[in-house]
Every structure is written in structure tokens, then in C-alpha cells.
Chains A and B, each alone.
Chain A
């Protein structure tokens, strides 16, 4: 049982740890974890996503990996892309696989473990300040026993020239592996960053990746944030990303879920100033009995902000998708523009989609829309293409590509768009 593994692991850690502020934070998180445990389907937010296949198994944190470097990297997407790469295998940083090409020394592209001492002021100012622990068992578990992760700091007015890719590989060759990456991203005033998170799995045993991201965007910052989840085999994934936006910030976030036994994404935006722009896009295409759950929340706490959300699903076989998007427009958030859509295509009679677009509006001068669709591929476009001599299977691919195109066009890295197209080709 996972809960016992966690307890044992924490006790082990506790006996060796220095009693620092960081330790106290973790101890507090562990206490919260013991109190609330794992979410169950009795919790409304987890109604359709049952974690029992995770919590009933044993997992262990390990930095061991027997997979060879070459093989490991052959799994890594975007090999050819010119980028800063931080590679983590089972949550441990692997410097020999990583490369930093950024030459501006004021920009920090490092790891959390190093930043704790090397950038302790920044670390203490931001760590644990955005992702909530209270009532959030999985976040508490991450905080209590996090392995390592990226630490990125972009000072005022700086632009990281090339994207930063955080490659996360779960290697379950020898054991059931638990990875708990924790990333802290700080983008200061008028600075900009393109960030890509990728997730893979190798090995035949189950793996459980439990990620917490804290992203802080100071005034006028611009962040492009892409997530690619492609963990094959028996792999479970929970991701909590909290993005905290000061005034005039612009965040474009795209989540691509290509594979994973169970993938739960919690993506939260908090707008802490006027004129923020938050863009949330997602594409999922589960097959077999995979489950993909996207829970998003956008907090419009100040006036004159804009958010746009579009999640699209291509559902195959007996797969299940959950979409729950919540837009909270607070009392003071006048002149809010908030849009939200979830669209799904069922390619099989046995696939299921549970969708719940939600608006909670406490201001009175706002423009908000939301909507969801679930349907089959339309007959009319299909017939049109076939009537021009295009066979049904080719026509179907063209239409599904067109459906996915709405999301692909939100991605500003051409290599990533190309990769997505190849993955769609492979999956359908």
C-alpha cells in the first residue's frame, strides 16, 4: 500500500534530516498528508477518477536506474531541438544527460536541490507559496518527499533565448517507482521564458509520477508553457501546476496528453493584478482503457483580465476522459472576458467523456461563455472528402488532424507541432 511506503519513507528521511525551515515545511506537509490522505471518488473533484490502482500498490522512490544513457535519450522527445535541457530520471537530476546553452549568467537554469542553498533567498520567498497543501493530499505528499526538480529564475527584462526542456523519465525496470518532481519557475518583471515539460516511462513495472509546479510571473512577464505527457506502460501521473500572475502578464499553456494509464492534470491560474492574459489549451487522445482527467481553475481576482480555454479530446477504444473547468470571477473582477470550451470526438462506442464546464461569477460587468460538446466525427465533411476520391480512412485522419489543429496552432515551437502531428498519425 502506497500510504505505508510514504510513511516509512518519511520516517527514514526525518531521522536523517537537518532541522531546517525546509524540513519544517516538509514535516508540516507530511502531517497534512497523514490527515487527508489520498483523494477518493467521494470527493466531488475526484468523482470519476479512482486512484485505487495507485494507492493499493507499493511504490518506492529510487534514484537508481539501470537503463543506459543512449536508450534513455532515445526516449526523449525533441532531441534535435536547440534548447536548454534538464533531465531527471526517477526524479534525480542527471547532469551528464543535461545541457544548458543559455549564456546569460544572470539567468538561472538549475535544480531545486542546488537552489535551496545557492539561491536561498529566492527559494524561501517562493517555494510552497503558490501550490496549496491544505486538503490536497497529493500536493502534501509531494512537498513532504519531493525528489528534485527544475529551478528557473529569469531576472527583470531578460529573455531566455532558447526553450528550457524539463525531461522527466520514470524508469520502472527494477521496481515500482515513485517520482515526485517539484519545479519552481520564477519569471520576473518584463522577462520571458518558453518552458517544455516532457514525461516518459520505461520499464515493465508500474510507475507513479506526482508533480507539483509553482510558476510565478511578475508584472509584464510572458511565459509559454508546454506539457507533453507520453508515459507508456502502466504509468500513473498526477500533475498540479499553480500559475501565479501579477499584472499585465501573458501566459500560454498547452497540455498534450498522448499516453498514460491514468493522467490527472490540475492546472490553476491565479490573476493577482489587472490586464492579465491566461490561455489554457489541451489535447488528449487516450486509447485502450486509459483515463485522462483535466481539472482547471482560473481565478479572475482583478478587473480587465482575459482568459481563453479550449480542451479537445479524441477518444479511442474504452478510454475515459474527464474535463472540469472552473472559472471564478471574483467580486472585484469587472470587465472580465473569460471563455471556455471542451470538445470531444468519440471514435468508439465504448469511450466515455465526463465534462463539466463551470462558471462562478460574482462581478456584474463581465463577458463569459462556456460550453462542451461530445460527438462522433461529422458525416457531412466525411462525405465531402470521400466524394472527391479520398478513401474513408484517409478522410478520417484529415478530419481528426483538422480537429487537433486548433490546439496545434497554439504551439509556438515548430518542432513540437511536427512532433504532435507524428504522434497523432501514430495514434489514430
Chain B
């Protein structure tokens, strides 16, 4: 589904990604871990199409399409969803109107008619239940006055509504207490299926206790330097990142 080859990217002349390779197949969950400054958030930003990052080399193929050539909105409409680390507040834009617009723009892109209002409301209700989202939040402005946990849950709710092929969770666990973390993770787990893939970017292993990945990759200095299964995350939790850094330094 997603094939990243030799990806190099920089911001304001500073090289962040230095030849990253990653293959994600349909239905797989890949965790990307790494110390601060390794390039984790850059990877999510580049995949979602943030303009301030410049890709200098490499390719990203998403279901046969050159992802890097697409605008952020087209990436979303092709099925990429980024759950933001810091979802922003947009006063004056209602959650409901925002989601209706997003869904209908996606349908338009796919050549479909706009969704019937009743179908849309039904879908809202179902997905709200699925991710245990408080009903009162949907009538409010987008993320305005939401707690940290509510904002993250709203990201997962949006993901549930937009039904992407690939969900990228950018440090979704940051700033969450254990109850919020559990709720958000349960929401993600309910969205896992044979077709839908996830890239879970996190600094800490604890998220991966809830969202158990098929693969764990360690990102360091802009490259994936180690890959393994879920047990690698446990090892990192116990030993920290220093041994990986030393391994990398020794090999270079």
C-alpha cells in the first residue's frame, strides 16, 4: 500500500530525513519509535504534505500513486489520514459542518453525490459511539475549548468518519493520561481491519501496550536503523535508545 524509498527531506536547509525506507502492506500496523529529533514528526509531516518541508530525494508510492505529487487535500481524499500531535482549535467552524464538508469533498473527488443529511447524521451517531465521543462536542467549534484528551479523541473520531486506507498517528499519546490513552487506543483498535494500515509514531512504548503493532522500527538520524516485532518496543522501554545509538555509531 505504502512504499517509501530513500526518502530525504529538509526544513530551512536542515537535513532531517536521510534516506528512509519503509514498506507498509494493507492491514499492517507499523510503529515508528525513536529519540527526540530523530525525524519522527518530519516523516508524518512529509507524508501529509506540509509545505514547509522540502523533499530532496526519494519516492513515496501510495497504492500506485506518487504521493509526493499530490496536494494535502488530494492525499486525504486518496485515503491518507494524519492524526495530529497537536490538533489545533478553529473557532467559528463547527465540528459537524467541518466533517460534512470533508466527507462530501471526498465523495466529490470519487465522483459520488453528496451524502444525504440523514445518512450523515446516522453515520455521526455510529462513529461517535464507536470511539466513545461525547455528543456535545460535535455541536461545538472544531476543538475549541476541548481538553487534550478530547482533542485526540476527536482526531480518532474524524478518522472513523473519513475511513482512510492509511492512518498516521503522530505521537497521539503525548499529553494523555492513562484513561484518555486507553480510550483513544480502543478507538484505533476498533478501526483496525484487513484493508486499513496504520503508522503509529511514538516516543514511548506505553501506547504500544494498547495498540499492538505488527512491526516496530527505530528511527535515528533520519533513517530506520532497526526493525523488529512488538518485542523490540519492550526492549527499548527497558534499555532506552542509547544502545541503538552506539550500534549505529559503531557501524558507521
Contact = CB atoms under 8 A, between A and B. Distances in A.
A386 interface: yes
Interface stretch (A27-35, A120-128, A393-401): A393-401
Contact of B102 (A388, A392, A405): A388
A31 to B, nearest CB: 50
Contacts of B72: 383, 386-387
Nearest to A402: B92
Interface stretch (B6-14, B20-28, B83-91): B83-91
Given A394-B101, A398-B98, A389 B76 contact: yes
Interface residues of B, number: 29
B32 interface: no
Contacts of B90: 381, 384-385, 399, 402
B193 interface: no
A391 B93 contact: no
B92 A403 contact: yes
A331 interface: no
Interface string B155-166: 000100010000
A380 interface: yes
Interface of A: 379-381, 383-392, 394-395, 398-399, 401-406
Nearest to B89: A381
Given A394-B101, A398-B98, A399-B93, A388 B88 contact: no
A402 B158 contact: no
A56 to B, nearest CB: 42
Given A394-B101, A398-B98, A387 B93 contact: no
A117 to B, nearest CB: 50
B31 interface: no
B71 A392 contact: yes
Contact of B98 (A379, A386, A388, A405): A388
A386 B77 contact: no
A380 B88 contact: yes
Ranked 10 nearest A-B pairs via Cβ: A402-B92, A389-B76, A405-B92, A386-B72, A388-B102, A389-B77, A386-B73, A389-B106, A402-B93, A381-B90
A314 to B, nearest CB: 13
Given A398-B101, A399-B90, A387 B82 contact: yes
Interface string B125-151: 000000000000000010000000000
Nearest to B94: A402
26 contacts: A380-B88, A381-B93, A383-B50, A384-B87, A385-B93, A386-B49, A386-B71, A387-B48, A387-B72, A387-B73, A388-B158, A388-B162, A389-B73, A389-B102, A389-B162, A390-B101, A391-B71, A391-B105, A392-B71, A394-B101, A395-B73, A398-B93, A398-B97, A399-B90, A399-B93, A403-B92
A388 B91 CA distance: 17
A293 to B, nearest CB: 26
A376 to B, nearest CB: 14
A406 to B, nearest CB: 7
Given A381-B90, A401-B92, A387 B76 contact: yes
Given A381-B90, A384-B88, A387-B48, 4 more contacts: A384-B84, A387-B84, A389-B105, A394-B105
B98 A385 contact: yes
A390 B91 CA distance: 17
A360 to B, nearest CB: 31
A399 to B, nearest CB: 7
Contacts of A402: 90-93, 141
Contacts of A391: 71, 73, 105
B164 to A, nearest CB: 9
Contacts of B92: 401-406
Contacts of A405: 91-92
Contact of B73 (A390, A398, A404): A390
Given A380-B88, A399-B90, A388 B76 contact: yes
Nearest to B102: A388
A386 B76 CA distance: 8
Which of A385, A389, A405 has the most chain B CB atoms closer than 10 A to its own CB? Answer: A389
A131 B101 CA distance: 48
Interface in B16-72: 48-51, 71-72
Nearest to B86: A380
Contacts of A383: 50-51, 72
B28 to A, nearest CB: 22
A390 B102 contact: yes
A365 B212 CA distance: 60
Nearest to B159: A388
Most buried by A among B77, B91, B105, B162: B105
Nearest to A405: B92
B202 to A, nearest CB: 20
A380 B87 CA distance: 10
B161 to A, nearest CB: 9
A401 B97 CA distance: 12
Nearest to A401: B92
Contacts of B91: 402, 405
A394 B109 CA distance: 14
Q: Which of B51, B71, B81, B102 has the most CB of A within 10 A?
A: B102
A60 B93 CA distance: 47
Contacts of B51: 379, 383
Nearest to B76: A389
A40 to B, nearest CB: 40
Given A385-B98, A402-B93, A390 B105 contact: yes
A198 to B, nearest CB: 25
Most buried by A among B81, B98, B106, B162: B98
Interface centre among B51, B92, B105, by most chain A C-beta atoms within 10 angstroms, is B92
B109 A389 contact: yes
Contacts of B50: 383
